[in-house]
Amino acid sequence: MKVRRSISIDPQTFNFVMDQAKKEGRNFSNMLEAIVRRYMRSLKKDKGNVPT
C-alpha cells in the first residue's frame, strides 16, 4: 500500500536529501522514501507503537 502525501520541503532539507541521493546513487524520491522509512523505524523504536 502506497501512501502519497504532499509535504513541503524547505531548501535546506531538499539539498540534504539530494546530497544523500547522490552519495547512494538514488533518485530524489527514492532517497526521500528511504529517509522517511528510517525515520518511522526510529520512531517505532522510541515509542513502541506509533498511533496512525
Write the pLDDT tens digit of every residue in 9-19.
788 888 888 88
Predicted TM-score (pTM) of this structure = 0.47
Total structural domains within the chain: 1
**Domain-embedded: residue 21:** yes
Domain of residue 40, residue span:
11-45
Q: 539530494: which residue's cell?
A: 18
Q: What is the residue-averaged pLDDT of the chain?
A: 78
**Domain-embedded: residue 52:** no
**Domain-embedded: residue 5:** no
pLDDT computed for residue 18 by the predictor: 87
**Domain-embedded: residue 26:** yes
**Domain-embedded: residue 33:** yes
Q: Can you tell me the mean pLDDT for 21-26? A: 88
34 touches 26 (CB < 8 A): yes
**Domain-embedded: residue 40:** yes
**3-state DSSP percent of the chain in helix, strand and coil, to 5:** 65, 0, 35
